[in-house]
Chains A and B, each alone.
Chain A
Amino acid sequence: MQDSASDAAQGTSHDKAPAQSDGESLLLRLLRQWGTIIVIVLTAAGFSFVSPYFLTFSNFNNILFSMIVPCLVSIGLTYVVVAGSFDLSVGLCVTTTSIVCAFLIPVLGPWGAIVVALLVACGIGLINGLLVTYGRLSGIVVTLGMMFVLGGINIYLTGGYQVAVDYTEKAFRWIGQGRLQLTDDRKMAIGVPVIILAVIFAMHMVLFAKTRVGYYIRAVGDNAMAAFYSGIRVYHWVIVAFILSALTAGIGGVLLTSISSSAQPVGGEGYLLEAFAAVFLGATVLGKGKPHVFGTLLGVFFLYMVNSGMNMVGFPYAARQLFAGIILILAVGANAALNREEIHLKFI
């Protein structure tokens, strides 16, 4: 074609057309990317201004310690949300694993009990995953059902009483209660479960960002049809996401048993709501717009930091709840405003 020169020019002109983001201000781009992190830092600065005890090693340690189980639940849930589904059973999965673990320690010893408890968690995830994919059921419905089923099983197994772990199980209790001394100062110690959390978080960072697992789960959640046509085993990866969610929550359950030397028959629903808050808060971190493991960690940290700070300043529980809710809506709202879609037609 003799018009090849002008065709080439036309080609480049298309390239420009959709890239309207070039024109947006630097400030807007910085806000989108760093906004959430800036808010976290400013909030921390505010609290440390009001309370001298806020910005101390021991308080930081306390915050980390209090967020161990919710953080694990949230990280697991991240996979399912990224895959485009919901897992409402994560909270009770923690309780069930905790109970199974506590029950089996006298029978199988601590290590055997941990392994079986985690297998049970994987089984819960597998059932959720199979029903959502091959069973063609909605993720919300399936996991809502699973939540009630687990609640029933928990009461049935325990008869409504807490299950205590024997005082002699020193090794098992060390997992949740041990401390590693950093310096001679007794205050400078890190809890063993905090270290476990850090290790598991690091593994998830790699799994989510650097391996096929995270990569394909993201692809499936973004456009399952395109993934299907690309020869990706969509069902396989959705099931993997559900298993990862339940397994990570299960690790939280085992740690919970060890931390409190017992398993409670009820509770766990609270983790679920916190986890969703953390995952959606985390989606705004670094301007990704979609949940990611690092964002989820910051999301949980933020919620617990605010809780601790407001506690120190003397706010009542009601105010803390109110504040957490407002923060969540503001963060997600700001993110939506910064990532404005041309037409917004999703209401889930």
Chain B
Amino acid sequence: MLGLSKKDTTFLVVVIFLTLMTPILLQPFPEGSVLAQFNAGYPDLMQRFAIYGIFAIGFNILFGLTGYLSFGHAAFLGVGSYSVVWMYKLLGYNVVPGLLLAVVTAGLFALLIGYISLRRSGIYFSILTLAFAQMSFNLAYSVLTPLTNGETGLQVYTDDPQILMGAGSPNSPHFFGIVMNESAKIDVGGWQFTFNNGYYFCAIIAIIVFYLSLRIFRSPFGIMLRAIKTNQTRMTYTGLNPRPYTLAAFVISGMYAGLAGGLLASMDPLAGAERMQWTASGEVVLMTILGGAGTLMGPILGAGFIKYFENIFSKINDDILHTWFAALPDGLEDAIVFMVHPFIGKGWSLTLGLLFMMVVIFLPGGLIEGGNRIWRLVTGRSRNRNTPGKDAQHHPKPTAHVN
């Protein structure tokens, strides 16, 4: 279906199913139970999963396929957000014009930065993109204050023109009348599931762009990008110029980032300069590597992991710890709380850092590799078929399946 092989179609269907069921899957513990703390099925976090998933999918097209490590993708995220908020201010709260503009401006921006940065590769390319992103951040933060409202962030005011706003239009971001921040809460037994319009909007866009990236991975263009990663010099010797391909990949991933930034502002009509800071660029690199660079599903998993830690672990405080360990004797309880304390609350990044180190050391292929190992352990299947050395005739090996 849709020009995909049977295996990929199944894969896509599984992804669609998981995405649409997220509000139920992320709410495994009943309300009021001790573990309800770990539920993640609330609209803001689910939206972030989908949006940063899009961001990471796009980043993976550049980093995963061509191997070019950009440290400046947050700039495109910010550009996307500012475009959307400006469209709110000028036209009205419908998200469509803003999102289109976000993709276009981010694409143009990426073309400019990519054209210059791609003259170098490796570490020099990374530094160049980092420099551009930092420049954009500083411009947004102080120099272009009339355009970006600096540190306060760009917001919509009641006296903005909003020329397309009718009397009956909703007063917050909407998609032709479907208001983003409205949700339906359904109570089933002790569980409460929140189905949010904004999440489903992001989720459907995420599925579409996931499908696009699947097609890119499987296309001749995708093969070219992989060739660049494998051996650029050899590619040049065969008479192929890698520059247009890398530039195209850079622009496409920039547009993905712009779309993600636009969606952030579609869920929450505010654009802040810190979205462009280098830490935000580093975050998407972490997401991609944590999940598994070059795999289709990995970056999405990585994005989910990081956002989960940032939002759930950071909210566990000492009081909550004490209720967990209340059954233990007092001295032991205090000792355990004291030991766990640095890893929760504002120490969430420490926990994440440890996890990241473990993944890089023990699972170089990211969480996806971990999943695959477990899968092989469970099913008892091994990869003997592809093990090198047993193929005396040197048959061409099948291309590594990307999952």
Does A pair with B?
no
